[in-house]
Amino acid sequence: MENITIPVDPEIAKAYREAEPETQQKIQMLLNIMLKKAVSQKPLLDIMEEGSKQAIANGMTPEILESILNLDKPYQEFADEDRQLAEDGINEYADLLTQEDRL
């Protein structure tokens, strides 16, 4: 294998860095399969079949795949909270502007 660098969203980078080494390895395997598909001239079904066989041979289970696909779930509550804080801030700012207009 050869290493490359690919830009990702900050929350993805954080989740990956904080993941257990075994989970990182599974993610690398999944990304490798996806990138092969993106650059290959092979039919998608062939690539998916090869990737599936490789993933199973390396210990991938449906449960592990599900956990990888749900890595962002713990961060969703922060996104919701940030959105609510932003909305609250905008509303407070609008109220202040309205009060200033009355003066």
SS3 63: helix
Q: Which two tokens stand for residue 3?
A: 């290493």
The string of DSSP letters for 66-102 reads HHHHTTTHHHHHHHHHHHHHHHHHHHHHHHHHHHHHH
pLDDT digits (tens, 9 = 90+) for 8-45: 999 999 999 999 898 888 888 888 888 887 787 777 77
pLDDT beyond 90 at 5: yes
From CA 61, how far away is CA 82, in angstroms rounded? 34
Is the model's pLDDT at 102 over the cut of 80? no
- pLDDT 10s digits, 44-72: 778 778 878 888 888 878 888 777 777 66
Confidence of residue 77 (pLDDT cuts 50, 70, 90): low
pTM: 0.43
Structure tokens at 21: 């080494």
